[in-house]
Structure 1
Amino acid sequence: MTIVLERCVNRLEWEKSQEQARQRAEDEIEQERIQMAMIDWHDFVVVETMDFADDEDEELPPPMTIEEVIRRSKVSAMEEDTVEPEKEVEMEMDEPSLLKRA
């Protein structure tokens, strides 16, 4: 009898958590809808139209694949991590001089 009761309580807690998650998702959607409704879309004005000639893109490199973008992002993040400590030391050295000037 207690096992059945425990399972019922667990099921009730699970259903409550599912209902709360569903309610949160609906609230977020409603907030986004309200924010979009607040925008006055007729208030925008076209300032300039840019026309591109067919031969303008000859100098551009070919488009990158997703893998290349991820690889470059990781490489730049690793480079930033290696440069960060040096920048911090320079910033620490500059801070007192900035405070003395003020």
Structure 2
Amino acid sequence: MTSDRRDRIERAKALGRVAYRLARGGEIVGNVDVDSQEKRLTEYRRGPLSIDLWEPWRPGAFETEFSRLRVSYAGEKVLELRWDRADSFNVLLFRPGAWEELI
């Protein structure tokens, strides 16, 4: 892995941590089915920025059940992360841009 790619992944993770904290303070929309797993959907909205957070909501959720965070700016997806408690973490999408200043 090149150092540019590694730096980009670390930048996405850092932005994801901030976005996660914002989303946790957002509005709980309800429970939805995502990839055959029931998740609690929480939404955060501020101007052109929107953050959706899907998390397992049951206390007995398996450690391999995933969580997902999606950040959109002006209706376009700019960051998407997926992880679980079994140490799997993936940056699915990262598009740097002006949205980073809003987080």
Does the TM-score normalized on the shorter chain lie above 0.5? Answer: no
TM-score, normalisation: structure 1: 0.24
TM-score, normalisation: structure 2: 0.24
Choose 1 or 2 for highest CA Rg: 1
Larger helix percent: 1
Larger strand percent: 2
Bigger relative CO (Cα 8 Å, ≥ 6 apart) = 2
